[in-house]
Amino acid sequence: MQTFNYLRPAHLDELCQALQQPHAKIVAGGTDVLPQMHTGRLQPALLVDISRVSELEGIRIHNTQVEIGALTTFAAIQAHPTLRAAAPALTQAAQWVGAPMTRQRATLGGNLANASPAADAVPPLMIYNAEVTLTSAKGSRSLPLAQFLLGPGQTALQRGEFIQSVRFELPAEDLGSAFLKIGPRRGMTIAIVSAAAAVRLSPEGRLEQVRVAVGASAPTVIRCPQTENLLHGQLPSAELWQSAAQQIAVEISPIDDVRASRAYRRRAAGVLAVRALQAALSQAQEAAQARTV
Amino acid sequence: MKPIEITLTVNETTHTLITLPNRTLLDILREDLGLTGAKNGCESGECGACTVLMNGAAVNACLVLAGQADGCTVETIEGLSKSGQLHPIQQAFVDAGAVQCGFCIPGMVMASKALLDHNPQPQEEDIRQALAGNICRCTGYTKIIQAVQMAAEELRHD
């Protein structure tokens, strides 16, 4: 591996100070940064290792507010009982990140900072309307995820800033949600297409609070507002799902790449998003039944 | 690039080393400590040949910086056998005929140990999930999964 200067701050103030230096690259779990450094694709002059900044670690839940520190690993997210019960799309996405060894090291902050259109954590966080808190020596600011992710590998992070945490409102019990992903292999798969969906059922059995996010099908993960509008207030039916799949194919802008063709992605994104919606719906139905019992 | 001092405990022996920050835990194990069981395969976390346990969890040693291993407890394949006796997982790999060329096996065994330490009665699906990050180029997966099942049984009777 090439040479670099190395700093390992132990606290937030030391981290803010380290990031004042030019050309600082942050490393946390190393599962994205180190493969690129091994090949020489990434050659940072200064590597700031944040893995010891304990203030950035952990999942905190106050009332209905969830705050997940940037250093929290996917293994920790996957194992968290409250998230599993109330935000299962995020748990399911965490289960799909890399392989067990990856999940022990890979962090939520790294998944966001890497800004891959295929990032597993992003579709669920988008349907939970998550915000990202960015901190620097000057202070903190919060951005909706859609404003943080600007394009492949591009984020709103400015020089000196780092991701402190991700926050979202813990979904109500009657909101069903799910995440699905298509790839060639169970472990270490970069999504060809991914989708997260949330929905609740009105007392009359109509779809409400419909949220759909699709990954690896546009320069960033995107919400599909036209599909959400199309579904809102409707009674679920085979025809409705078919038109939803068609609407998703229109809303995304996939590309041809080594993993799949644009045409395949258009088709698969619609099918996958509808499956995610149906999984979210059956969960919402269970919640509705539990209420009436 | 300034050298750094790190202290880590590997297979119950504590080492303090002066090293460079651009070295990985795998470099330290193989080159400084002479523990060549963990293999350098892909250097990208795809193959799992470098799997070791760090603070009890399976990790890819090629993706852990030297500075990140500071203060950690590491267990490698060399630490498994006690007084000349193979560990039950190693013995099960031998008995099942799970070892072909052998390159992936240290990683397979350590990933299996991480599984069995936390889940002594895994279903086949749990084993497949636990080994999802370990590639066997000889494609001996069926025997490898049988070996983990045999090891789980043996460990339960211990």
Express each pLDDT in A196-244 by its tens digit.
999 999 999 999 999 999 999 999 999 999 999 999 999 999 999 999 9
Average pLDDT, integer, range B18-23 = 98
Cα-based distances in Å from A192 to A155, A183, B63, B98: 21, 5, 24, 32
Beta carbon pairs, A and B, within 8 Å:
93
> A44 with A74, same domain?
no
Q: Residue A234's pLDDT is what?
A: 97
Query: What domains can you pick out in chain B, each with its CATH number?
Result: 4-79 (3.10.20.30), 88-157 (1.10.150.120)
Give me chain A's average pLDDT, please.
95
Q: Within this chain, do residues A39 and A78 fall inside the same structural domain, yes or no?
A: no
The helix/strand/coil state of A59 is strand
Q: Where is the domain boundary, A169, A193, A219?
A: A169
Residue from the list A2, A30, A188 with its beta carbon closest to the beta carbon of B63? A30
Share of chain A above pLDDT 90, in %: 90
Residues A75, A147 within the same domain = yes
pLDDT score for A287: 83
- The rounded percent of chain B whose pLDDT value lies above 90 is 95
Q: For the residues B86-101, what does the mean pLDDT come to?
A: 97
Inspect the interface and report whether the beta carbons of A6 and B2 lie closer than 8 Å: yes
Q: Measure A148 CA to nearest chain B CA, in Å.
A: 27
Q: Are residues A197 and A154 in the same domain?
A: no
Nearest to A104 among B48, B57, B134 (CB): B57
Is residue B83 helix, strand or coil? Answer: coil
Task: Look at chain A and report how many structural domains it folds into.
Answer: 3
Residues of A in contact with B45 (CB under 8 A): 31, 34-35, 98-99, 101-102, 188
What is the domain extent for residue A271? 176-292
Does residue A195 share a domain with residue A158?
A: no
CA geometry: angle A192, A196, A201, nearest 5 deg:
150
Tell me, what's the pLDDT at A13? 96
**Mean predicted confidence (pLDDT) in A177-192:** 86
Within 8 A by CB and 6+ apart from A258, the residues are none
| Shared domain check, A184 and A110 | no
Of A38, A49, A186, the CB nearest to B44: A38
pLDDT of residue B81: 95
C-alpha closest to that of A63 among A166, A145, A135, A167: A167
Are both A183 and A137 inside the same structural domain?
A: no
Q: How much is the pLDDT for A293?
A: 67
Nearest-neighbour CA in chain B from A198: distance (Å): 26
Which of A167, A148, A164, A166 minimizes the C-alpha distance to A156? A148
For chain A, which residues lie within 8 Å of any Cβ of chain B, measuring from their own Cβ? 1-6, 8, 27, 29-31, 34-35, 38-39, 47, 49, 51, 75, 98-102, 104-105, 185-188
- Distance (Å, whole) CA A122 – CA B142: 35
With CA atoms as reference, the chain A residue closest to B54 would be A104
pLDDT of residue A166: 98
Where residue A43 sits, what CATH number does that domain have? 3.30.43
Min CA distance, A162 vs chain B (Å)? Answer: 19
Band of pLDDT at residue A259, cut at 50, 70 and 90: confident
